[in-house]
Each structure stands twice: as C-alpha cells, then as structure tokens.
Amino acid sequence: MAESVVGAHADEAPDQDRRDFIHIAAMAAAVGGVAAVAWPLIDQMNPSADTLALSSIEYDVDKVPLGQQVVLLYRKQPLFVRHRTPQEIAEAVAGDHADLRDPATDASRVKPGKAEWLVLIGVCTHLGCTPGFDGGNLAPGHYGGWLCPCHGSVYDTSGRIRRGPAPLNLAVPDYVFETDTKIKVG
Amino acid sequence: MSGHSTYEPKTAVERWIDTRLPIIRFGVDLMDFPTPKNLNYWWTFGGILAFCLVTQIVTGVILAMHFDPSGTGAFSSLQGIMRNVDYGWLIRYIHTTGASMFFVAVYIHIFRGIYYGSYKAPRELLWLIGAAIYLVMMATAFFGYVLPWGNMSFWGAKVITSIVGAVPVIGPSITTWLVGGFTVDAPTLNRFFSLHYLFPFIIAALVGLHIWALHVPGNSNPLGVDVKSKSDTVPFHPYYTVKDGFAIALFMILFAVFVFYMPNALLDTDNNIPANPLQTPAHIVPEWYLLPYYAILRAIPDKLSGVIALAGAIACIFALPFLDTSRVRSMRYRPQAKLYFFIFVVDCLVLGFCGAHEPNEQVIPGLTTFNLLDSDLNTYVWLSRIAAAYYFVYFLVITPILGLRETPLPVPESISSPVLSHPAAPPAGATASPEKKG
Ligand code: HEM
Ligand code: FES
C-alpha cells in the first residue's frame, strides 16, 4: 500500500453516497430558501387589507320603480337591483324548464315572497363586462333580460345565461331583507 | 460573436483598453460583421424595430416624469401632459403612435421570417427569442394602454385580466392576484405602471440575446442558401448601416404623418372618458394590433375553449420551426408554399377585420342566409371561424405536410451564382456552371 499523507486518500474512491447527500441537502435548502423569499414577493400582489375591508352596503329597494333597475357600486363592481314586472317574473319562471347552461330555478335566485326584486352582480361571467338591460326584447335569440355588449352573451329575466360565450348565470350576491324594503348586501 | 476579429488597436490607449475590456473591438466587429450582400428591404425591419424600442423608451421615461399612476390622478395628469407640459403633446403622441408603429414593424418582420424561412436550422433559437419579444411587447402595450385610465383602458383591462380567469379552478384567484382586488381598480393601475416601466427593459435584454443568436450563424438572405465564401458577403458598415438608415428615414416619414396629422386615428374616443366602473363602452375593442387574436377568442362560443384557441394561436408562432418540414428555406423556390403564405397573410388581415366588428353584425349588409349552429352564416362570427380555422390549418396541417410533398424549384448553389449566371449577362470565367442550375 502506498504511503499516504493524513487526510489525502488519493487512491480511495470518494464516498459517492455522502456526496449525493450533500448535493441534495444543499439543493433542498436553496430551493426552500428561494421559495420562502419568493412567497412574500408574490403574495404582496393579492388584494390588500383595506381593499378586502370594503364593507357591505344597504339600499332601500322601494326607490326602484316597477319595471326599472338601479345600478349600485358594490365592492367596486356594478350591482343591479331590478324591480321586475309580473310579466318578467312569468317569463323567468317559464324559463325554469328550458335547456339551461347553468341550471337554476327563478325561485332559487330571489328571496321567498320577494320575486319582484332581483339583485345581481352586474359582471358578465364571460370576461367581466357590464351587461346592459335588453329592454324586454323577446325577439329570437333574446330573452328579455340583459345583453352583454362585449361578446354578445344574453341573459334572461332571471339573470340566467341563455346564449353567447358566458359559462355561468349572473351571480346573486349574499344579501338579506333587513326590513320589508331594505336590503343589506354583503 | 463568431468569426475572427479584424480589429487592430492603433494607439497605446486603445491597446490598454483592449486588454482590459475589449469593448472597442466589440463595436468594430459588430460594424464589420460579414452580411450577405443580397439582403432586400424586408431585412431593414430589424433596424427599424431597434429604432422603435429606443423611441418608446425615451418618450416613455419622459412621460413617466409627468404621469401620476393613481386611480384619481392618472386621467388628469395626462390632460396636464397634453395641455400644460411643454411639448407634452408631442412626446405623448410619439409614444402612442410609436406603439402602433412598433407593431407594424414587428408584424412585417415576422411575416418576412415566415416567407424566407428564417426560423429554420440553425436559427430556431433566434426565432424563439423573437417570439418571446413579441409576447412581452404585447404585454407591455396592454399595460401601457391601461395607464391613461380612460373608459376603454378600464374595460380593456377588465376583459383581458378575466381571460386568465378561464383557467379551471385557480383562474379566478389568479385574476384577483393580478388586479389586486375584487375587480380592476386603482391598485391595478399602480402595478401596471410599474410593469409597464419594467417590461421594455426586459425587451431590450431579449433584443441583446436575439442579436447574439443572430451573430452566431449570421443573417439568412432572400435566396435562403448559406453564405459559402467571403464574396457572398459585405461588411455591415457602411453597406447596411446606410440601407437600414434609409429605411428608418422612410419609416420616420410615415411615423410623422401619424404624429402630426392624425394622432388620434389609432386611439379610441372612449378613452377620452374617465374610467367608469358602471358603464361598459358600447363597442369594446382592443388596439388594432391585438384584433386578430380577439377575433379568434370570440369565434368560439365557450369561454375556456376560446381562451385555449387564443393561447394556441400564439403558441403556433413559437412552434413554427418544429412544424416546418421543408428543407428549402426561402419560399422563392416553393411556389405552393408561397400561395398558402399569401392566403395566410390575407387571413390574418381578415381576422383583424373581424375583431373590429360585432360578432352578430352582417358581413354583407342586409343579406340573411341560413342559421348554422348558433348564428347566421353571413355574420362576422362565422367569418372569424372560417379565418381562425385557416390560421390553425396553415400552421398545423399545411406547413408540416407541404414540406414533405411539394416539389421545390431548383435552388441556386450560392448567393453569387444566380447573379453571375444570369443569362442576360454571362460573365467570363464565372465560377458557377449554368448546367447545374436545372
Ligand atoms: C416596448 C415599448 C413600449 C410600448 C409598446 C408602449 C406602449 C404604450 C401604450 C400603447 C400606451 C398607451 C397610450 C395611450 O393610449 O395614451 C403607453 C402609455 C404610457 N407609457 Fe409606454 N410603451 C413602451 C415603453 C414605455 C417605457 C419604456 C416607459 C417609461 C419608462 C413608458 C411609459 C408610459 C407612460 C407613462 C404612459 C402613459 C401616458 C400615455 O398614455 O401617453 N412606456 N405605452
Ligand atoms: S364579457 Fe360579456 S360576453 Fe364577453
């Protein structure tokens, strides 16, 4: 056996397992460290506390005349409060049995006994435009509700998607009737 | 950079610098770069693009000195730039026009690449870097378009950020993360300004890589044959500095016509109305340079599939070097490919045209044909469907199959030979023999 200096095992193969362990441990520490630093840098872009704190709103629905709607600003988004006519309600109920893309009955979209009040988030579920009221248009391809100007999604008098690219019905926000005519949204 | 250097430091100072940081050598070699002698004017758009990038950065940095990126201040600070800042109107109009001119140039540059097969081996990475630049350019322009905080800015931002929301499950959280709220609002504007400032410098870095990748194999050329000898090339300076300079001068004339005579032609009137989160503009359209993609998005009546088609359309550009099977670079020698290419160019214009119209609008006014699936056949939605279909067929079917099946015309042996062997002027002792030309 050749003479060797202490610590210099020139003729010995390096212990591969120990080297692998060191490589893997170092890589794991580096990846973990990078991830730990990256997360705050990424997460800071989420809505800040003051944005999240946007509170609920109250509204006296009595102010909306029959057959009209108001558009309120709720969490920086348009909120439709529509006072539906008996004809609109009838059409909406009739639509319960149609072939719906996002099935929901009209009754499930209003509060019990308050079918004349339809409260919707006015954000098209396609790409976020605000649909305009279609003026009760019932021509073929129209359902008397809303029409989105952006890519032509058509919603019925219950705010359900009937035609066009949007996948879902207009969302009904969380709200309660605090009194007979006052709603609290959010 | 490839090739040997011809630089000889002449003074002691130059020698001193050269042994420490060979930056003068770098510049000299760049100017001396052997360039094919037969480049035509379609090759000047690279230089034009560099001019555009510098223009955007210079005018943009100046605008940022006067711009207030806050939800309440952005719109009025732009009015201030237009009315109160000395020459503010000029600088802003150069910046807004410059964005469009940039895209004019990049589209011509890309079509040039497709026609002359510039993406083929060994230039695939060069092409991929170029495609990445184009992608970052679109993002930059989108962020910039949001900054004036007019009503079209606002709703454009809303629609584009919602596109991300189509991703199943995590999509809506990504949109919230991107816009920093329940919906697009002041925090969105603020971060988009930060990114709009950053991205052009990322583009500049990518341009550096692009030119590095270009200087490894060198330029391709209209014949698509490789450079065989020194007689096929000329030094970049003065030959192409002058040619590019001339083209840039012409380009600046077009640029100036827009800046001084119709600065609002490419802007949207709805953007003179401050952002209103309750009122979507009646006719919402992106800037002209994004219209073809917008048409593809709307051609499909399903949110997720529409977004996949949109992403796929851009992915096709990236994939092109790996889809093309033809071994002939230039379409000058591929008569069939040439035909499909010109249809493709028209197809892209048709898509852009469709993107500017309402889906349900009639293409031929007053003519009602028959209803196919969800719409009448004579509507822009069907025209965009047909055009979108050709777009994908061109990349995914025609390009791979044609390369295997077509019979290309005979390709010249070298760049010099077709000139020298021209029948009208047979030069004495020409190196190339005409029999071999077929
Ligand atoms: C890649 C290059 C760039 C492109 C394609 C681009 C594009 C755009 C576009 C389309 C607009 C909207 C113009 C309008 O409708 O008014 C804009 C605005 C703006 N850009 Fe850029 N930009 C670029 C580079 C830069 C740079 C480098 C800066 C500054 C660091 C900058 C700063 C601004 C500012 C402050 C605005 C708002 C003022 C305005 O709207 O005129 N841009 N940009
Ligand atoms: S955003 Fe309403 S249809 Fe596209």
Task: Verify that A65 and A144 share a domain, yes or no.
Answer: yes
Model pLDDT, residue B300: 87
Task: Verify that A61 and A38 share a domain, yes or no.
Answer: no
B60: DSSP letter? H
- Rg of chain A in Å (alpha carbons): 30
Read off the pLDDT of each residue in A143-165 and give the average, rounded to a whole number: 88
Task: Verify that A35 and A114 share a domain, yes or no.
Answer: no
- Which atom number of ligand 2 is nearest to the Cα of residue B298? 4
Q: Which CATH number fits domain B285-409: 2.40.40.20, 3.30.70.240, 1.10.287.980, 2.130.10.10?
A: 1.10.287.980
Q: Cα(B140)–Cα(B285) distance, rounded to whole angstroms?
A: 17
Query: B418: which residues sit within 8 A by CB, 6+ positions away?
Result: B223, B412, B437
Model pLDDT, residue B6: 85
Tokens 């009315």 correspond to what residue? B83
Give the closest-approach CA distance of A165 to chain B in angstroms. Answer: 4
> Between vectors from CA B414 to CA B411 and to CA B417, what angle results, nearest 5°?
95
B396: DSSP letter? I
**CA separation (Å) from B259 to B85, B91, B240, B245?**
17, 9, 27, 20
The answer on pLDDT for A129 being more than 60 is yes
Q: Which CATH number fits domain B28-276: 3.30.2350.10, 3.40.50.1110, 3.40.1030.10, 1.20.810.10?
A: 1.20.810.10
Task: Verify that A1 and A84 share a domain, yes or no.
Answer: no
Task: Verify that A114 and A165 share a domain, yes or no.
Answer: yes
Model pLDDT, residue B43: 97
Q: Cα(B389)–Cα(B396) distance, rounded to whole angstroms?
A: 10
Task: Verify that A20 and A58 share a domain, yes or no.
Answer: no
Pick out chain B residues at pLDDT < 70.
1-3, 418-438
**Ordered strands of the A144-147 beta sheet:** A132-133, A144-147, A154-156, A161-163
Under an 8 Å CB criterion, which residues of A touch B?
A: 42, 45-48, 51, 54, 71, 73, 75-78, 122-123, 125-130, 132, 148-152, 163-167
Q: pLDDT grade, residue A9 (50/70/90)?
A: low
Q: Quickly list DSSP for A117-134.
A: EEEEE---TTT---PEE-
Domain that holds residue A30: 1-46
B-chain CB neighbours of A139 within 8 Å are: none
A46 to B163: CB separation less than 8 angstroms, yes or no: no
Q: Cα(A171)–Cα(A173) distance, rounded to whole angstroms?
A: 6
Model pLDDT, residue B2: 46
Task: Verify that A20 and A92 share a domain, yes or no.
Answer: no
B36: DSSP letter? E
Q: Which long-range contacts (CB under 8 A, 24 or more apart) does B305-313 make?
A: B306/A165, B306/B166, B307/B163, B307/B166, B307/B167, B309/B388, B310/B163, B312/B392, B313/B388, B313/B391, B313/B392
Task: Verify that A35 and A56 share a domain, yes or no.
Answer: no
Q: Per residue in B308-349, pLDDT tens?
A: 999 999 999 999 999 999 999 999 999 999 999 999 999 999
Task: Verify that A68 and A89 share a domain, yes or no.
Answer: yes
Q: Are B179 and B173 in contact (CB under 8 A)?
A: no
Q: HEC profile for B217-282?
A: CCCCCCCCCCCCCHHHEEEHHHHHHHHHHHHHHHHHHHHHHHHHHCCCCCCCHHHHCECCCCCCCC
Model pLDDT, residue B37: 94
Domain ranges across chain B: 28-276, 285-409
Model pLDDT, residue A51: 83
Q: pLDDT grade, residue A22 (50/70/90)?
A: very high
Read off the pLDDT of each residue in A139-148 and give the average, rounded to a whole number: 83
Task: Verify that A71 and A140 share a domain, yes or no.
Answer: yes
Residue A23 φ/ψ, nearest 5 degrees: -60, -50
A-chain CB neighbours of B277 within 8 Å are: 73, 76-78
Q: Per residue in A33-91, pLDDT tens?
A: 999 999 999 999 999 888 888 778 899 988 899 989 999 988 888 999 999 999 999 98
Which has the higher per-residue pLDDT, B419 or A173?
A: A173
Please indicate whether residue B233, judged by its CB atom, sits closer than 6 Å to ligand 1.
no
ipTM rounded to 2 decimals: 0.77
How far does the centroid of ligand 1 lie from the alpha carbon of residue B96, in Å?
7
B-chain CB neighbours of A77 within 8 Å are: 182-183, 277
- Cis status of the peptide bond prior to B400, with omega within 30 of 0: no
A129 to B280: CB separation less than 8 angstroms, yes or no: yes
Model pLDDT, residue A80: 94
| Beta pairing, strands A144-147 & A132-133 | antiparallel
Model pLDDT, residue B419: 55
Q: Are B189 and B71 in contact (CB under 8 A)?
A: yes
| B373 and chain A in contact, CB less than 8 A | no
What is the tally of structural domains in chain A? Answer: 2
Over chain A, what is the mean pLDDT?
Answer: 87
Model pLDDT, residue A25: 95
Query: B397: which residues sit within 8 A by CB, 6+ positions away?
Result: none
Task: Verify that A27 and A69 share a domain, yes or no.
Answer: no
Please indicate whether residue A154, judged by its CB atom, sits closer than 6 Å to ligand 2.
no
Compare CB distances from A149 to B163, B185, B282 and report the shortest one's residue.
Answer: B282
Model pLDDT, residue B426: 44
Task: Verify that A128 and A65 share a domain, yes or no.
Answer: yes
Tokens 């898509």 correspond to what residue? B351
* Catalytic center residues of A: 151
**CA separation (Å) from B341 to A140, B199, B223, B391, B419?**
40, 32, 17, 11, 26
